[in-house]
Chain A
């Protein structure tokens, strides 16, 4: 059995603590001058990959952890963060500022990289918090014909294969699969580390290989056109009722029962 060659796709998104705002033209979310950071689920993916290496949980070891990003030039910062957390090197497909790539195109790019790099495990976030599409991991698995264990809250390697506890409604579901495979990560999987200062310095020396989608033979052309982006309507203040009778009366009044 071969050692793991892990690919971790990461995305630069508006920081989770920032309230996103729609631009005046209602065509997109305002991104300029807004704090960005690594998609939180991707932090979990990097952390899990690094832990698999550190804890030697896969009997044949981890050969390489490669971070990958497709996005505008600033995504380099996100790749540096991934490498400061422990990824060995990075691959970067640069797009123009403001150019959104759809999950299928991302999936195809990843497919090509998986082939080129001899990847046998893709660990990615279950979704990115900007457009919440939640498709990339599954698409990669589909394109490759691999198994996909989604929303992982625990990953372990046994004699019979890779066991993944998945977050499902009201509990967990445990699945087993063989490598190669895709795992998508969920919040309870681990607590991502903070990049330590010495590791930030080390990351500076790690390699980022740039490659274009054309070189990989993938078209980034969009199939969806964004017609309009609007903010959710402001929450209507709720009313308070004193007791159960009050609630029933209110529900009747609203015609709900």
Chain B
């Protein structure tokens, strides 16, 4: 973090204090370094930056580092993950060697500062990585997404220095994390959660159960939201750290799912789980704020998972119809009826990606991005489902069989409309913000 701050901060300050000529130099990535990555990592303090003097660049433009990352992750995903995608889906299990290599590549610590063993990159770099992974496997992508955007960010933003020192180096190199908010009785209405925390002499005791917890099978580190004082309603919700193996903690059930089958989703039981007081994350009673904050930005990650999925499904089918399959003496992709669908689909993907990257850049600039993130996730999940569904049709029977990735991408796309806030919940958020804007 220190280093990227060093690179970016003076540049940003310079860019904000002196109007830079809005000429595009020969190496656009250069000006970008000065202009765009208003890195979240260099400013965690919620201060907005005046970006009015920065020459606008296309939203598709990546910094040199982000582009290098996209390149490297794409190569890794295609060489290492792609050959295992079908098998992991059929087995409904993540290959441990992939988890190991994700750590080796630094993909599990994208935003973790360098002094804690992470890559010390910016938020959009994480988004780029999540998208590239989803082009190949949305299951691997969500593992990386939850670990980075929810778990790591929670520690970076809210944990004490001691907790950071203890956990960030592990989260960056060998320990998978889970984010435990949802429960059997509380889904969309997340803050109605029933899991209870009580104070003990040495710390806290947690009892209750969690449901739908991503990464449960792989994780050793769980951020658990529990209510310390139900009489205070959601203001009693507090975040704790629970390690796997703590007495009373158990995985009760692993769900069998429609899609993202290689990503584990489990029910967890907390049977009077005692944790030391150091395992309090942030402040008592502030858990709901953390959850809202984390999910607001985490949503951009899910949106990126969905645009990546859509791209992956699109490319797979486009290659087939334009290279392999001939009917009536010509490539099926050369029929106008096909081409118009293909063109429409790519336009939809480009629109969704613009929403996603715009939300990410606004977050990095310290602007209000809540509505943008909700729109991005809503729209990206719709596009992902539509495009991956059409992609199957373009491929005919070859898209329908459990070979290749076409049918899997469509199954995987469904989750985008459900987790980290259902589509209805996104619409509610968008409408609420719009109403406040238009109410006189």
Contacts and interface: CB of A to CB of B under 8 A. Distances in A.
Contact of A201 (B67, B75, B107, B119): B119
A197 B69 contact: yes
Interface string B359-380: 0000000000000000000000
B65 A204 contact: yes
Contact of B3 (A77, A81, A194, A205): A205
A196 B104 contact: yes
B19 interface: no
B431 interface: no
Contacts of A198: 106, 109, 114, 117-120
Interface string A178-205: 0000000000000000111111110111
Contacts of A199: 106
A201 B27 contact: no
A48 to B, nearest CB: 18
A126 B109 CA distance: 37
A200 B72 contact: yes
A242 B34 CA distance: 67
A26 to B, nearest CB: 24
A205 B106 CA distance: 18
A199 B114 CA distance: 11
Contact of B27 (A37, A73, A80, A81): A73
Nearest to A81: B68
Nearest to A85: B72
Interface string B26-56: 1100000000000000000000000000000
A73 B71 contact: no
Interface in B117-133: 117-121, 125, 129
B170 to A, nearest CB: 15
A84 B72 contact: yes
B118 A200 contact: no
A205 B67 CA distance: 16
Interface residues of B, number: 29
Interface string B83-123: 00000000000000000000011110110001001111100
Contacts of B72: 81, 84, 194-197, 200
Contact of A80 (B68, B107, B119): B68
Nearest to A191: B79
Given A197-B119, A200-B119, A77 B76 contact: no
A31 to B, nearest CB: 16
At the interface, is chain A mostly helix, strand, loop or mixed? Answer: helix
A201 B120 contact: yes
Given A73-B27, A201-B119, A201-B121, A196 B68 contact: no
B68 A77 contact: yes
A197 B3 contact: no
Interface in A37-71: 37
Interface in B54-80: 64-65, 67-69, 71-72, 75-76, 79
A13 interface: no
Interface string B137-150: 00000000000000
A196 B106 contact: yes
A200 B110 CA distance: 11
B4 interface: yes
B271 to A, nearest CB: 39
Contacts of B119: 196-198, 200-201
A196 B119 CA distance: 9
A236 B110 CA distance: 50
Contacts of A205: 3
B26 A197 contact: no
Contacts of B331: none
Contacts of B22: none
A197 B27 contact: no
A76 interface: yes
Contacts of B27: 73-74, 76
A205 B2 CA distance: 13
B396 to A, nearest CB: 23
B7 interface: yes
Contacts of B125: 197
Contacts of B79: 194
Interface in A205-228: 205
B106 A81 contact: no
The 3 lowest CB-CB distance pairs between A and B, nearest first, are A197-B106, A197-B119, A196-B106
Given A197-B107, A201-B121, 19 more contacts: A73-B26, A73-B27, A77-B67, A77-B68, A84-B72, A196-B72, A196-B104, A196-B106, A197-B105, A197-B106, A198-B106, A198-B114, A198-B120, A200-B69, A200-B72, A201-B3, A201-B4, A203-B68, A204-B7
Interface of A: 37, 73-74, 76-77, 80-81, 84, 194-201, 203-205
17 contacts: A77-B67, A81-B68, A81-B72, A194-B105, A196-B104, A196-B106, A197-B69, A197-B109, A197-B110, A197-B121, A198-B109, A198-B117, A199-B106, A200-B69, A201-B65, A201-B119, A204-B65
